[in-house]
């Protein structure tokens, strides 16, 4: 019985953290980030958010804005992507990133690899990711080694 509980705990801890979808929202009025009141976000400006804490929408890195000042474009009120409204490239990227994280890549490695595969598929890294997604065990192993095989994506 004790070994069953330990196995369950190990599998729960070993479950990969899936990539977040960045929800787009448009500013309904001139506003600012809570942390930097001197930074102006103009009415109509589109920003991306990954989390919310009820009253605020927050970006990766912790900058937040008042939810009431924005209208979500491609996500529901709980920041779940609405696939029919999401940009096809962004949705594809998010799906690929999730798959790569599930394969065992670190989050940053998966993000870089997904960028290469989505936006520059004919590049050597894009081809390596394609091979791994198609089940090539050597390609998968190379990607799991991380930065040795996945250069930073040139944004």
pLDDT in tens, the chain (155 residues): 444 333 333 333 333 333 456 788 999 999 999 999 898 999 999 998 888 888 899 887 778 999 999 999 888 888 877 767 766 667 777 788 888 989 998 878 888 898 899 889 999 999 999 999 999 999 999 998 877 778 777 65
Q: Whole-angstrom Cα distance, residue 104 to residue 149?
A: 14
Residue 17 to residues 1, 14, 42, 102, Cα–Cα distance (Å)? 28, 9, 34, 8
Q: Whole-angstrom Cα distance, residue 59 to residue 47?
A: 9
Residue 16 to residues 46, 110, 146, 151, Cα–Cα distance (Å)? 30, 12, 16, 22
**One domain, residues 62 and 30:** yes
Classify residue 107: in a domain, yes or no.
Answer: yes
pLDDT digits (tens, 9 = 90+) for 62-82: 789 999 999 998 888 888 777
Give yes or no for a contact between 142 and 131, defined as CB atoms under 8 angstroms apart. Answer: no
Give yes or no for a contact between 29 and 43, defined as CB atoms under 8 angstroms apart. Answer: yes
**One domain, residues 93 and 46:** no
This prediction has a pTM of 0.53
Percent composition of the chain: helix, strand, coil (DSSP 3-state, to 5): 40, 20, 40
Output the CA torsion 82→87→91→96 (10° steps).
Answer: 180
**One domain, residues 92 and 121:** yes
pLDDT digits (tens, 9 = 90+) for 121-131: 999 999 999 99
Classify residue 80: in a domain, yes or no.
Answer: no
Last residue of a domain, one of 72, 107, 133: 72
| Full domain range(s) for residue 31 | 23-72
What is the reported pLDDT for 29? 95
Classify residue 11: in a domain, yes or no.
Answer: no
Q: Which alpha helices (H) appear in 36-136, and where do they start and end?
A: 88-102, 107-119, 124-133
Classify residue 127: in a domain, yes or no.
Answer: yes
Last residue of a domain, one of 40, 72, 104: 72
**One domain, residues 59 and 97:** no
Q: Which residues pair with 71 in a beta bridge?
A: 26
Classify residue 46: in a domain, yes or no.
Answer: yes
**One domain, residues 96 and 140:** yes
Number of domains, the chain: 2
């Amino acid at each position: 019985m004790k070994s069953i509980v330990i196995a369950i705990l190990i599998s729960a801890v070993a479950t990969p953290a899936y990539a977040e979808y960045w929800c787009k929202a448009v500013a309904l009025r001139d506003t600012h980030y809570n942390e930097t009141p001197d930074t102006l976000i103009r009415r109509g400006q589109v920003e991306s958010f990954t989390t919310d804490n009820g009253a605020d929408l927050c970006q990766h890195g912790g900058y937040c804005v008042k939810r009431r000042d924005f209208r979500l474009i491609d996500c529901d009120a709980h920041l779940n992507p609405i696939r029919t409204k999401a940009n096809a490239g962004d949705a594809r990227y998010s799906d690929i990133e999730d798959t790569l994280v599930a394969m065992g890549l670190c989050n940053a490695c998966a993000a870089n690899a997904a960028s290469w595969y989505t936006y520059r598929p004919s590049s050597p890294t894009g081809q390596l990711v394609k091979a791994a997604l198609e089940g090539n065990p050597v390609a998968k192993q190379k990607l799991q080694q991380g930065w040795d095989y996945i250069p930073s994506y040139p944004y």
